[in-house]
Every structure is written in C-alpha cells, then in structure tokens.
Amino acid sequence: MSPATNVVVQSAYLVATALFVFSLHWMNDPRTARRGVRAGVAAMLLAVAATWFQPQIVHHGWIVAAVVAGIVVGVPLSRVPLTAVPQRTALSHAFGGLAAGLVGTAKYYLWLAEDPGQLTAFRMGAIVAEVLLGFITLTGSLMAAGKLQELRWIPQRPVTYPYQNVSNIGLLALAVLLGVGLIVWPTGAFAAVAFPLVVVLALAFGVLLVIPIGGADMPTVISILNSYAGLSAVAMGFVLDNKLLITAGALDGSSGLILSIIMCRAMNRSFTNVLFGAFGKVQPAAAGKDDRVYKAETIEGAAQVLEQASFVVIVPGYGMAVAQAQHRVRELYQELQKRGITVKFAIHPVAGRMPGHMNVLLAEADIPYADLVEMDEINRDMPQCDVALVIGANDVVNPAARYDKTTPIYGMPIIDADKARTVFAIKRSKNPGFAGIDNELYFQDKTFMLFGDAKAVVGELVKHLASQRNAG
C-alpha cells in the first residue's frame, strides 16, 4: 500500500471510529437517538468503503456478492414489527458471531497452508478467542431468538438436567484447554484434531448455555451475547491487524457488558445466577394458596373508576407487546388526559424481552418520552396514585419480591403498584409469569382483574370512557 493510500485509509478509519463513539453517545438520549443511528450507519459505510479501497483487495466479486447477500437478508429484518425486535437483535448478534468465527477459521487455515510462521502465539491466542466467542455467540443467539419467537421445538422455560452446570463448565474448560494447546502447538497432528474440536465445543456450549435460561432473563442474555459479539470482533481486529475493528468491537463489548450489569442490578441478581440459575422454572404452589381467587371486574366498572381518578400510572409489560396494544394504550392515555387526569408510565428496566423494549414500543405510539418514568422515580409517587393499570406485566410488580425469600425473584426491585389506591390488571390468563410463581398483587383486596387480550381490553376501556365523556 502506498503512503498516500495508507493515509486515506487510516484517516477514514479514524473518522469512522469517532462516528461510532458519537453514535453511542447520541443514542443515550431520545432527542438525539436518530442522529446516533445515522452516525453509526455512516461509520459502517465509511469503514467498509475504506477497507474495500485498499489495493490488496483484488477479488471484488466476492465482496459484491457479500453486500448483495447482506441486503437480501437485512432489508426484511429491518421491517419486522417492534414486538419482534428482541429476536431480530439476537439474530444480528448471531450474524456477528458467525462472521467472527468464520474469519478466524479462514485465517487459521490460510496461514497454516501458506505460511505457518504467521501462527505466532499472540495470533493463535487471538484466533482461539475469536473462534470461541464467535461460535458461542452464534448458537447462543440463535437459541435466544428461538425462545423469544416461541418456536415449538425450543421451550421458553428453562430446560435443566442433573449436573448441568458442572457438565457445561467442564465442556467450556475443555475448549479453553484445547485452545491453549493450539497456542503452544499451532500445527501438526494435535492441531489438526484440536481446532475442529474447539469449533464444535463452542457451538455446543452456546446451545447449552441458553437452554436453561428462561424468558424473563432474555434482556440480560441479549446484552451478554452483545458483549460476546463485541469481544469476538476485538479478537478479529487483532487477527486482521485492523485498528477500527478493535475499537468498534471494544465499544460494542463494553456497552454490552455495562448494559448486562445494569440489567442484573435491576433484578438484584448476579451474572452467574442469570447464566446458571435456571430462573423461570414453574414453582409448586404453597399449601393454602390453591384456594385463592382473583377478583374480576367489568370494563364498565373499570372505566368508571378511571373516570374518577386524578392520577393514573400505567405499568406496561410483555403482554402489551405481544398484543401490540401500544396504539390502543396511547388512545387511552389521550382519553384520560382530555379529562384532566395526570397519566404516567412506569418503566421497569427489565420489562419486555430486551433493554428499553417498553420505551421503544411506547415511543412508536407517539407517547411523550417525558411521561415514561423510570422505576426509582415513579415509586416515590405510587402512594399518591389513584389507579395503577398493569398491562401484561407480572414479575416486575410482584410484591413477593420484597418479603418472600422462597421465591426466585426475592430482592428484585419492583414497581410499587401495590401502593396505589386501586389496581387494575389486564392479563390473558391465570398462568404465572416467567419467574414461574403467582403474582401476590393479583390477590390483594385492592386489585381487580380484566382478563383478555390487552389490545381488545384497552380498546373497550377507551370506548366506554369516550362514550361517558360524550354523554356528559
């Protein structure tokens, strides 16, 4: 590469790196989020163009074919409904892991065939890390996407078996030991067997890692897999001697790790508990609790209570996302506001199936972001709340998290819906949430159930409120 070309390429990489940094910064605020997305797109386009511009790239047909394939796959994925964004995100992580794993594998066999001297200890360490993290991310993300999509052959609830954690850790340890062996002996008979075995073990571990994880932990799992994908990109950057890949991967990996920590704190749980705790197994009902009954309420009765309220807090959950009820919720929000009622939305950090899931859905319905209030802030106002309307949320409003040490959600911060004067809960069925336990909130004297599809129930509430207002 000539000095002039090198200056152009490195300058483009520097600008792309800055754009990636600004992209993450701008996406911290809803007001600048669109700018952040555009900056990220521009950075990626610039990075691809600068790499393609290098004179050592001679097989342009393969690159064109890859671009076309990416467009063919990417355009339909960009048009999925917002309720499918979590599984689409998981698929994106799977593609990133696959790319890293394939690049590491290709570079290993290329250097092995053409110049084994290139397989230094440092490069082999980077290749092993790239292949391990890449293929773990691939199968782990595919499993996560399958659980989120509710595929029949992939159970949503945890799948456990005796000595599961021991065998999984042992499998990973074996893969790491083989990787260490490859660093020491990158060629020869040992390497011929060990490298394919590392790939197989990484693929298997990705599946076994996610199988015992329930749907309630998917937000954390997605962010952890995001971190793995970023770290595999860092390793790929070292393998390819590409500083931009190292920087972009580090940004991706660190942001995923930080987000995972935030998610774990929001659930008052550790990484090990999320990854190995089998959270979401259905718990047997305690003695004396089977005879408890829900108190159902009619749409008319709920509308009358809402009409008399002065402060209403809406608590959205995954049930709202599944029913695609966000636009009906906006209509309810507007109808209540017409009556001079203050309406706020209580957002739990792990509500839904990915970080920020509820924020995205409600923003899509044009609900002002100022009325989306985080858990810690809204909890201070809950004792003054006249009506808490829980739409498809379960574990994030379960007061058992405060006092019942036998439940898997004990210690998890929750939205204090039980402190409101009246609670209406919209729920499709009497089934427990993903934690596998009944919600104690739903059996309290102040709580009334509105059973049915969230979209239909909220739509009926809007109709009754509108008719009452017009009649008045």
Q: Which DSSP state fits 154?
A: S
- Among candidate residues 324, 299, 316, 292, the one with its CA nearest the CA of residue 394: 316
Bridge partners (DSSP) listed for residue 425: 390, 449
What type of residue is 298?
A: T
Q: Between the CA atoms of 118, 120, 126 and 131, what dihedral angle is there, to the nearest 10 degrees?
A: 70
Q: Enumerate the H helices of 27-157 as residue ranges.
A: 33-53, 60-77, 85-114, 121-148
What type of residue is 453?
A: D
Contact between 344 and 313 under an 8 Å Cβ cutoff? The reply is yes
**Structure tokens given for 255:** 């942001």
C-alpha distances (whole Å) from 34 to each of 37, 78, 354 are 5, 15, 19
Element (H, E) at 330: helix 326-338
- Among candidate residues 400, 453, 156, 446, the one with its CA nearest the CA of residue 285: 400
Contact between 277 and 269 under an 8 Å Cβ cutoff? The reply is yes
Q: Between 3-26 and 33-53, two packed helices, what is the crossing angle to 10 degrees? A: 160
Element (H, E) at 423: strand 422-427
Q: Which DSSP state fits 296?
A: B
Q: How far apart are CA 11 and CA 208, in angstroms?
A: 43
Contact between 462 and 333 under an 8 Å Cβ cutoff? The reply is no
Catalytic residue among 29, 115, 386, 395: 395
Bridge partners (DSSP) listed for residue 423: 388, 447
Q: How far apart are CA 422 and CA 306, in angstroms?
A: 10
**HEC secondary structure over 116-135:** HHHCCHHHHHHHHHHHHHHH
Instruction: Please identify which residue in the block is written with the tokens 């739409």.
Output: 391
C-alpha distances (whole Å) from 36 to each of 86, 249, 363 are 20, 17, 16
Q: How far apart are CA 132 and CA 202, in angstroms?
A: 5
C-alpha distances (whole Å) from 168 to each of 160, 164, 165, 204, 206 are 11, 6, 5, 9, 10
Question: Is 395 a catalytic site residue?
Answer: yes
What type of residue is 133?
A: L
Which residues are designated catalytic?
395
